[in-house]
Amino acid sequence: MANNVSDQYFEPSTDTDANFANSVSGQANSYFLPAVYSKKVLNFFRKASVAEAITNTDYAGEITAYGDTVRIIKEPVITVYQYERGQDVTQTKLTDQEVNLVVDTANAFKFIVDDIETSMSHVNFKEVASSSAAYALRDAFDSGVIAAMFAGVPASSPNHILGSDNATDLAAGTFDGTGNLDIGYASGEHDPIDVLSHMARLLDEQNVPEEGRWFLANPEFYEQLVQSNSKLLSVDFNAGQGSIRNGLVSSGKLRGFDMYKTNNIAATTNAAGKCIAGHISSTCTAQTIVNTEVIRDPSSFGDIVRGLHVYGAKVLRGEALVSAFYGID
């Protein structure tokens, strides 16, 4: 005879101490509790895109497909001379020098969502996967643009490449030669703030405007900026402008640069890493998602989702870029 009403309808729980974690507080009949499926999706951590923030994107609306070419007219150089009374005025003939921005890179994605998965899922995985794919395309875009900027840094007239991809350390205060800038705060090392100061000086010498300057490095370099003996931890540094508190640049600027962090800088061969600084006018980019479409899979029961992203990048003013190879002991 049943001991209680519940035993008339349910078998007693067979949960043991070994399976205690599988039940709710070890209560009898806990296996009959319904599973709860969340409609929220755990997204991947997504790298923040910086390429569009640090480049000129004025021409993005002028492209529609792979292979498009945007012809950009460069600003003419005007000659100024001293004028004396009665002197003939010499005119400057303007030349419409143009640079071609070619949309020459295409990236695509393609995946299939089975009808059974669609009917049984509590979330719209077409939308979720498409969103994830879009961020992956943006990630590839960042990597390509950043690589183009590093390649566009001049090595002469002027030389804006500080150090080299070499395991040897340059002496403190030395920025040219074979070797990396050994960043740190010990004697003989390059204070990372001094590296930024030297980059700013090189841009100043090329008359690069201060407004619109940026600096880009990976998390490893930023870790050095906030070491315990860094000047940035002092509230008196730089009159309180550009100091770091709780790991954040308080004013958003340091040595005149808007500070950006990325994981999309290509690895170096011998140096610990590399960083780059410049002006927003140095590089132009144009990118667009040409098409995203859903078609039925002819060989199964499901939908194929695919998309195509195209972009182009062009360094217009190499003198407005400065890069550095650094080492960390």
pLDDT in tens, the chain (329 residues): 444 444 443 344 444 444 434 444 444 444 434 555 455 555 566 666 789 899 998 887 778 888 898 888 877 778 888 888 888 887 877 777 788 899 999 999 898 988 887 777 777 777 888 888 888 888 899 999 999 999 999 999 999 999 999 999 999 999 999 999 999 989 999 999 999 999 999 999 999 999 999 999 999 998 888 775 666 655 545 554 544 443 334 456 888 999 888 999 999 999 999 999 999 999 999 988 888 888 999 999 999 988 889 999 999 999 999 999 999 98
Structure tokens at 273: 């890493």
If DSSP codes are grouped into helix, strand and coil, which group holds residue 133? helix
Domain extents in the chain: 1-36, 44-70+104-329
- pLDDT at 31 (0 to 100): 41
Residue corresponding to tokens 């078998």:
11
Burial category of 286 from C-beta neighbours within 10 Å (exposed 0-12, middle 13-18, buried 19 and up): buried
Amino acid 21: pLDDT: 41
Please tell me the predicted confidence (pLDDT) of residue 228: 58
How confident is the model at residue 87, as a pLDDT?
Answer: 85
Distance between CA atoms of residues 220 and 178, nearest Å:
22
DSSP-derived 3-state class of residue 107: strand
Of residues 312, 315, 318, 247, the one with CA closest to residue 106: 312
| CA gyration radius, the chain | 29
Task: Kindly report whether the peptide bond that precedes residue 158 is cis, defined as omega within 30 degrees of 0.
Answer: yes
CB contact burial 142-179 (16+ within 10 A = b; e otherwise): bbbbbebbbebbbeeeeebbbbbebeebbeeeebeeeb
DSSP, collapsed to helix, strand or coil, labels residue 269 as coil
3-state secondary structure of 313: strand
pLDDT at 47: 67
What pLDDT score does 12 carry? 43
CATH numeric code, 44-70+104-329 = 3.90.1690
